Amino acid sequence: MLRALVERIPDADYLYFGDTARLPYGSKSAATVAHYAVGAVRYLQDHGAELLVIACNTATALALPEIQAAADVEVIGVVEPGAEAAAAASRKRKVVVIGTEATIGSHAYRLALEARDVAVREKACPLFVPLVEEGWVEHPLTEEVARIYLAEAFSGDAGDADVLVLGCTHYPLIKPLLRRVAPEHVAIVDSAESTAQEVAGQLQIPPSTASSKSGLHGAPALKFFATDSAEKFRKMGTRFLGLPVEDVLHVDLKE
């Protein structure tokens, strides 16, 4: 998500809160996710955040109303922008959504897409997150897991679905692999890219702004907060962002 935001809005100052000590959110209850997310929101607001983007699909799906109630600034989640982009891309009006167990179990994408008259097949893919965090983005095991998941997702009456929504912020790292495995006729929608466009619209940034910049080479101001090891976060963050992650502050949020 941050990478998509930096590419689209390179001149902004970014504060990024990584709740690494309490991940993954995808296997936790809605109440727990809401509690964790609200704590992060308050911390970011205390450090000057003027617009909040909930990069986590699970937090958006399970706790967006609680987050919005706790925030004093505008909050943008990833589900609605992702659903809007998927609906716009689908000619068949049939979409497959993959995500964590919690995101899929919430049916947030299904509800958002059905509100746009799109039929939905949902598929939880719980193994993708640990595989990505292990760095196995092009590993044969990851590809085999992807083949199994997508074969199930596009089976039966979802066989002619023409859009695949990546409903987790980890999944774009295996997008090239998913492109190889998914049916050829299927377009892939990254909810992070869709959300970055939504944020740019909220900030009234014209489309020409990003194209006039050199993407990630625009040297945005980035500050990171992590609830687990700062060193571990630097390594993982560099992999996700494609930039050196240097300014990381360890945060100990009290329960």
Q: Which of the residues are catalytic?
A: 56, 168
Cα of first residue to Cα of last residue in the chain, in angstroms, is 27
Packing angle between helix 79-89 and helix 57-70, nearest 10 degrees? 130
Q: What gap in Å lies between CA 75 and CA 14, rounded to an integer? A: 15
How many separate helices (H) and strands (E) can be counted in the chain? 12, 9
Candidates 71, 21, 65; CA nearest to 49 is 71
What residues contact 234, with CB distance under 8 A and at least 6 apart? Answer: 245, 246, 248
Residue that is written with structure tokens 């990851």 in the block: 142
Q: What gap in Å lies between CA 169 and CA 129, rounded to an integer? A: 9
